[in-house]
Amino acid sequence: MRHDYRPYPFRAQPDRLSAYRRRAHRALFLAYARRHGGQFILRIEDTDVERSTQAAIDAILDGMRWLGLDWDEGPFHQMQRLDRYREVAEQLIAAGHAYWCYASKEELDAMREAQRARGEKPRYDGAGGRKTPPQDAAARRQAGAALPQSDLGHGAWTDLVKGHIEFDNGELDDLVILRADGVPTYNFGVIVDDLDMGITHVIRGDDHVNNTPRQINMLRALGAPLPQYAHLSMILGDDGQKLSKRHGAVSVMQYDEDGFLPAAVINYLARLGWSHGDAEIFSVAQFCEWFDLDHITPSAAQFNTDKLLWLNQHYLKGADTTDLAAEVARRLRARSVATAPGPRSRAWWNSTRNGWRR
């Protein structure tokens, strides 16, 4: 069993990963891989070069390390695999499953604008594939690639959380798989990565359900085995609204700044949308031992800040005094506050901790 986690770095919010939703799913990925003796693979989807930065990638890695979510392989970067994506696109074209698109950016923009003017949802109409290829080899090299889907009939898969799901390919447009600059589209990039890395389980939010038919079509065109899919319900914020990058997003490391312990955060995230009887407090090791998809909650879970604070208090009370003193010293140093270890600081810490116990 091989499972991957594939965060997408953003320049505007470098360490915000769709708020708790992605962090909670990240914990589930690791637990599922560990319980079944599998491997947890980290991939960085950095194909949006205008928004992806090294600072954003570093923030992702820092957040994972702080939470104690260790990966077995990677991180692998999509921008370092462009030749491989083009190789697979050419393979699909040679087999008659896809075609080169020779439409210019201006032509594609005009096509979308005309569709909007008619009140239609913008979609690729395949016109670029009907154009005569340019004579110049360099110009041909700049073509994009697309895969027709509308004539593939009906399809289906059995989701490990949602059950049997059917789809009608007649409702899908030709899927662009490779842009003119050689960068893969999201759906194409991830299925090539999944295939090359032997991914067996794709566990993700149910906002990706609509991507699954497209990914299944591409894998079948390649004659590749399908992974097992599990789509988890979204997580709502305290206000009942869906969490996203733009609503309710909180930096992973902000919780460190606010005094939360990683054990408390990962414990809370694990319980969002999953349960093991009445157990509320458990270690990462117990979580990995207990976790299975059968006890995933199909309905959306709601984030509760008060419960996270309660869990954090529990972990603070039970933590080793020396470790907590070191944490306090680290935070003080980060704020340029001088610290001097000694009996007085230890006595103060013990007194403070006894106050928590009362």
Write out the two tokens for 166.
Answer: 């059917």
Mean of pLDDT over the chain? 82
Which amino acid is it at 248? G
Q: What is the pLDDT of residue 235?
A: 79
Q: What is the pLDDT of residue 120?
A: 87
| Burial of 66 per CB tally in 10 Å (0-12, 13-18, 19+) | middle
Q: What is the pLDDT of residue 348?
A: 58
Q: What is the pLDDT of residue 138?
A: 62
Which amino acid is it at 241? Q
Sign (positive or negative) of CA dihedral 203, 244, 236, 24: positive
Mean pLDDT of 227-232: 92
245 — pLDDT class (breaks 50, 70, 90): low
Distances in Å between the Cα of 338 and the Cα atoms of 22, 148, 243, 259, 324 are 37, 65, 39, 19, 17
More confident residue, 60 or 352: 60
**Calpha distance 87→85 (Å, rounded):** 5
Write out the two tokens for 193.
Answer: 């990565």
Q: What pLDDT digit, counting tens, does each position of 63-81 carry?
A: 888 888 888 888 999 999 9
Mean pLDDT of 13-38: 56
127 — pLDDT class (breaks 50, 70, 90): confident
**Calpha distance 117→108 (Å, rounded):** 14
| Burial of 1 per CB tally in 10 Å (0-12, 13-18, 19+) | middle
Distances in Å between the Cα of 283 and the Cα atoms of 68, 171, 308 are 12, 46, 15
Contact 209, 165 (CB under 8 A): yes
Mean pLDDT of 154-175: 92
Does pLDDT of 247 surpass 90? Answer: no
Write out the two tokens for 65.
Answer: 């390390």
**Calpha distance 48→10 (Å, rounded):** 9
91 — pLDDT class (breaks 50, 70, 90): very high
Q: What percent of the chain shows pLDDT beyond 70? A: 80
Give, for 19, the enclosing helix (H) or strand (E): helix 19-35
Does pLDDT of 217 surpass 90? Answer: yes
Q: What pLDDT digit, counting tens, does each position of 305-350 carry?
A: 899 999 999 999 999 988 888 888 888 888 888 776 555 555 555 6
Q: What percent of the chain shows pLDDT beyond 90? A: 33
| Burial of 352 per CB tally in 10 Å (0-12, 13-18, 19+) | exposed
Q: What pLDDT digit, counting tens, does each position of 279-301 carry?
A: 999 988 888 889 888 888 888 88
**Calpha distance 39→153 (Å, rounded):** 35
Give catalytic status of residue 245 as yes or no.
yes
Q: What is the pLDDT of residue 50?
A: 77
What kind of fold does domain 1-102+143-319 have according to CATH? Rossmann fold (3.40.50)
Question: Omega into 75 within 30° of 0, i.e. cis?
Answer: yes
Of 131, 162, 242, 245, the catalytic one is 245
Please provide the DSSP assignment of 47-95 as one string: --TTT--HHHHHHHHHHHHHHT---SEEEEEGGG-HHHHHHHHHHHHHT
The beta strand positions in the chain, using DSSP E, are 2-5, 39-44, 73-77, 99-101, 144-147, 154-159, 163-168, 175-178, 201-205, 228-232, 235-236, 301-302
More confident residue, 93 or 254: 93
Q: What is the pLDDT of residue 26?
A: 62
Mean pLDDT of 16-36: 57
